[in-house]
Copies of this chain bind each other. A is one copy, B any other.
Amino acid sequence: MFSPNSLQPRMMLVNRFSCTLKNQSVKIGHCSKVPRNVNMEKLQHGYLFPEIERHELIHIKKYPNANVIDLGIGDTTKPLPTIVTSSMVDFVRGLSTAEGYKGYGPEQGEKALRKAIAHKIYKNLDIKPSEVFVSDGAQCDISRLQLLMGPNLKIAVQDPSFPAYIDSSVIIGHAGKFVDRIGKYENIEYMTCGPQTDFFPDLHTISRPQLIFFCSPNNPTGHAATRKQLQQLVDFAKVNGSIIIYDSAYSAYITDNSPKSIFEIPGAREVAIEVSSFSKFAGFTGVRLGWTVVPEELLYSNGFPVLHDFNRIVCTCFNGASSISQAGGLACLSPEGLNAVQSLVDYYMENARILVNALTSLGLTVYGGKNAPYVWVRFPGSKSWDVFAGILENAHIITIPGSGFGPGGEGYIRISAFGQRDSIIEASERLKYLLYQEGL
Tell yes or no: A130 within 8 A of B by CB.
no
Residues 79-99 (chain A) with a chain B CB within 8 angstroms: 79-82, 84-85, 88-89, 92-93, 95-98
Partner of A37, one of B31, B309, B317, B325: B309
| C-alpha spacing A153/B32, complex, angstroms | 13
- Once A76-B103, A96-B81 are accepted as A-B contacts, the answer to whether A303 and B31 lie under 8 Å apart by CB is yes
Chain B hits for A325, CB < 8 A: 322, 324
Chain B hits for A82, CB < 8 A: 96
17 contacts between A and B (CB under 8 A): A26-B299, A29-B305, A31-B301, A32-B301, A35-B302, A36-B309, A46-B312, A75-B104, A95-B286, A139-B317, A140-B318, A143-B316, A143-B317, A167-B316, A288-B319, A322-B324, A322-B325
Q: How far is the CB of A364 from chain B (nearest CB, A)?
A: 28
Chain B hits for A321, CB < 8 A: 288, 322
Main secondary structure of the interface of A (DSSP, over half): loop
A171 touches B313 (CB 8 A): yes
Chain B hits for A312, CB < 8 A: 40, 43, 46-47
The tally of residues in A whose CB lies under 8 Å from a CB in B reads: 105
- Once A84-B96, A286-B103 are accepted as A-B contacts, the answer to whether A139 and B77 lie under 8 Å apart by CB is no
Q: Which residues of A contact B (CB under 8 A)?
A: 18, 21, 26, 28-40, 43, 46-47, 49-50, 73, 75-82, 84-85, 88-89, 92-93, 95-98, 100-105, 107, 136-137, 139-140, 142-143, 147-151, 153, 164, 167-168, 171-173, 208, 210-211, 238, 240-243, 269-271, 283, 285-288, 296-305, 309, 312-313, 315-325
Top-9 shortest CB links A-B: A33-B241, A29-B297, A37-B150, A143-B317, A30-B270, A286-B323, A36-B300, A75-B103, A103-B285
Copies of this chain present in the complex amount to 2
Q: How far is the CB of A418 from chain B (nearest CB, A)?
A: 8
B96 touches A304 (CB 8 A): no
Closest to A43 in B: B312
Q: How far is the CB of A49 from chain B (nearest CB, A)?
A: 8
Task: Count chain B CB atoms within 10 A of each CB in A35, A77, A103 and give the residue with the most.
Answer: A103
- Once A104-B75, A150-B40, A312-B40 are accepted as A-B contacts, the answer to whether A241 and B32 lie under 8 Å apart by CB is yes
| C-alpha spacing A98/B347, complex, angstroms | 14
A34 touches B79 (CB 8 A): no
